[in-house]
Amino acid sequence: MTFEAFGRLCRELAATPRRLPKIALVADALRRLDPEEVPWAVAFLAGRPLPSSDPRDLGVSWATLARVRERAAPTPRRGGLTLLEAARAFEAIAAATGAGSRREKARLLADLLGRASREEAETLVHILMGEMRIGVHEGLIQEAVARAAGVDAQVIRRAALFLGDLSEVARVALAEGAERLGAARPRLFVPLLPMMAEMAEGLEEVFEEHAGQTALEVKYDGARIQLHKAGDEVRIWSRRLSEVTASLPDITELVRTRLRAREAILDGEVVAIGAEGRPLPFQELMRRFRRVHGVAETARGLPLALYLFDCLYLDGRSLIDEPYRARWGELERISGGRDLARRIVPAGLGEAEAFLAEALAAGHEGVMAKALASPYTPGVRGRRWFKVKPAERLDCVIVAADWGSGRRRGWLSNYHLAVRDEASGGFAEVGKTFKGLTDAEFATMTDWLLALKAAEDGVTVRVRPEVVVEVGYNEIQRSAHYPSGFALRFARITRIRDDKSPAQADTLARLRQLYDRQFEAKARTARLR
């Protein structure tokens, strides 16, 4: 495929508002590609210069790209660049490391843009910045791959969970067929998306939904991790599927020496522990995750506790389709009962409420409630797992920020908050806030957001949607001012969610659900008066 043809496809997708015609366009394009081109087309359509299984970063900032574009002179010719040539150029940019790498990356980028026509250069820039703006997200690509390969979409979705890379799923589907995809299983050292939970209004809702067959685990204010073990090799991934093994040597050693399993994939949480054994704030824990130098010294000064709560794979056997009670049984066996999340299977509501109160009194966030018969569904949020905690909060994405005034002058300190709009594949704003951060955090956030700058008008800086924050609020109100149709009243940032990606932020559908629940609660209160 020529890159000119790929650019035409992108423009046609951007001009096609309806989902089914978009799927047809992508499926038709995938059928016409050579097998070697398929993974790259999928990555580019998703706004990635490299397939998601490639851990490398191109290391090209917006400022570098702007300087190179000023110097590069796109040629008027068309069709000279191919899809694979663009792919090889991105690989070469990612491979440039060490002394002089910044200059080499800029040279390679200038060469690539200089070989492209104006239209091709625009498409390349959109890929580089992860801003395709063509209304194509991974769910839509999965359906397009299914149609192109003639397989059920559920087979594609399941294979994507295990292979960990939609580009590879597309290649296998189109080159090797449904049988090869159907054989996909969890693989050691290929991280799975974590299973997620719905928020429950209270324990009564949990008991009703789970028909009384539920287990309660302490919900720790820590960072979720996924552990993979094969013999003496142990590797760890964060909730965002970033590898953090090097930052957690104490946890890898603990798993290596204590776990009675040759091979395992485990789900768990790490918590920073203070002098009196109480959990420290989440931001203290993030110091460990960011540390790349002096790790051993930091580990001694900021110890972590490990709490395991699920077993997804054990000694060559996938457990994700097994019920939660069976997975927990295997976890107890291989751990010897150590390093497990505190857990009960309550006989009734009274015992459950006492357990929740005890968890809160110990400084934890609340409890997780898990249906005893539930399988593990990677990447899926559902009512088989519930979060039960006192305050309502949302995970939002920062999409823009205003320059501050007065004491906050010089900082980007009024943040535009948004939730995911699954229908459009974009983000819908729900309010602004400048509350919740310290001066040091304002300064750090300013540098972070400026590195993500997409546009600026002198007052507001629009940024690529990459920073996730947990937002507390007093009430959700209807609002014509924001595209979401809602506004968070008295919003305040309660913590920066370094461990979450924008794809794991809360959705507009969840916001509507919370608004409806809030309205119902007000109606009940009014009736009691």
Q: What is the DSSP string of 328-392?
A: HHHHHHHHTT-SBPPEE--SSHHHHHHHHHHHHHTT--EEEEEETTPPP-TT-EEEEEEEE-SS-
DSSP-derived secondary structure letter, 61: -
Cβ density class 493-518: b for 16+ within 10 Å, e for less: bbbbbbbbbbebbbbbebbeebbeee
Instruction: Specify whether the CB–CB gap between 251 and 265 falls below 8 A.
Output: no
d(CA 64, CA 54) in angstroms, rounded, equals 22
* DSSP collapsed to 3 states, 91-122: HHHHHCCCCCHHHHHHHHHHHHHHHCCHHHHH
* List 219, 370, 389, 500, catalytic entry: 219
Cβ density class 288-311: b for 16+ within 10 Å, e for less: bbebeeeeeeebeebebbbbbbbb
* DSSP collapsed to 3 states, 131-188: CCCCCCCHHHHHHHHHHHHCCCHHHHHHHHHHHCCHHHHHHHHHHCCHHHHHCCCCCC
Phi-psi map region of 150: left, alpha, beta (phi>0 left; psi -120 to 50 alpha):
left
Which residues contact residue 478 at a Cβ distance below 8 angstroms, ignoring those fewer than 6 apart? Answer: 485, 486, 487, 515
> Active site includes 219?
yes
d(CA 159, CA 166) in angstroms, rounded, equals 9
Q: Are strands 460-472 and 263-272 parallel, antiparallel or unpaired?
A: unpaired
User: 74 has which bridge partners?
Assistant: none
Q: Which residues are known to be catalytic? A: 219
